Amino acid sequence: MKAISVTDNRWPSQIWNSAHRLADVPAIGLANLVPPGARAVIVSPHPGDEVIANGGLLQVLAHHGHPLQLISISDGSASHPGSQVWPKRRLSVFRPQESAEALRRLGLPLHSLKWIRGGFTDSALAEREQQLLPFITRYLRPDDVVFSTWRHDGNPDHEAVGRATAKAAAAAGAQFHEVPIWAWHWAPREEHQIPWERARKLRLDTWTVARKRHAAHAYASQLQGEPEIGLEPSLSPVLLERLRMPYEIILM
């Protein structure tokens, strides 16, 4: 699958397709990111964040036989406030099913994958941040390499989980890395807020990129907006287009 050019003007100008410094981000090999034999732990605020942020990384880790643990903090049931089509009760059942299908599309070994579901209420995670810390800490080990959302991503849930995970990793003695999600869709004038000196680029081959995009489309509830109540789709066309980029960006 061909990566979109950063000069392509079919999409609004955002950091992901306009930042001049993206091209200069140094590459990192998997062995330098996650040492051989180390367990990788992905902590996601909402169902789907593990794929949008780390879908390529997850495939590469699984391919190289790394033990994996996923921690989904919330069930994502508050993603459609006021919706009659996707009420909370339906989403609380449907979104875990979407996540399982997405991980299957990535080729992850679901029969042996360790997957912790926190059941916290999304859209209110900042209010529960003090409870998130002990919850996450109990699942971490000193030799883990832990990934979560960037602490300055511009989304309150992402930032709260990032902060709690950073503290939990420090308490456990584990390595911690951050992954921006919404920050890539800021306007180009905000480019200076990205800590480029910490950024590293994990390159992905064509098939890995294709599987990541295919997995993202498993989240049917997030692909649909409801204009009649003012809800835009969480997985907008421009966000899905960004997933064509042939790398993951990780903040070390």
Tens digits of per-residue pLDDT, 138-186? 999 999 999 999 999 999 999 999 999 999 999 999 999 999 999 999 9
Please, how many CA atoms are within 13 Å of residue 93, restricted to the half-sphere of its CB?
Answer: 4
What local confidence, expressed as pLDDT, does residue 7 receive? 41
Residue 133 located in a structural domain: yes
Residue 56 located in a structural domain: yes
- pTM score above 0.75: yes
Q: What is the pLDDT of residues 105-146, one digit of tens each?
A: 999 988 888 999 998 988 889 999 999 999 999 999 999 999
Residue 4 located in a structural domain: no
Q: How many domains does the chain have?
A: 1
What local confidence, expressed as pLDDT, does residue 110 receive? 86
What local confidence, expressed as pLDDT, does residue 233 receive? 87
Give me the CATH number covering residue 148.
Answer: 3.40.50.10320
Kindly give the residue spans of alpha helices, DSSP state H, lying in 107-205.
Answer: 129-137, 156-172
Q: What is the pLDDT of residues 83-111, one digit of tens each?
A: 888 888 888 888 889 999 999 999 998 88
Write out the two tokens for 109.
Answer: 């070994």
Quick check: 2 pLDDT over 70? Answer: no
What local confidence, expressed as pLDDT, does residue 91 receive? 83
Residue 232 located in a structural domain: no
Kindly give the residue spans of alpha helices, DSSP state H, lying in the chain.
Answer: 15-18, 30-33, 49-63, 88-106, 129-137, 156-172, 206-216, 220-223, 237-242
> Residue 69 is part of which domain span?
15-77+86-102+111-225
The amino acid sitting at 115 is: W
Residue 250 located in a structural domain: no
CA atoms 26, 71, 159, 94: torsion sign: positive
Residue 237 located in a structural domain: no
What local confidence, expressed as pLDDT, does residue 29 receive? 97
Cα three-residue angle 76-215-225, rounded to 5 degrees: 50
Q: What is the pLDDT of residues 52-75, one digit of tens each?
A: 999 999 999 999 999 999 999 998
Instruction: State whether residue 251 is helix, strand or coil.
Output: strand
Mean pLDDT of 232-241: 92
Residue 238 located in a structural domain: no
Residue 142 located in a structural domain: yes
What local confidence, expressed as pLDDT, does residue 229 receive? 81
Q: How confident is the model at residue 9 (pLDDT cuts 50, 70, 90)?
A: low
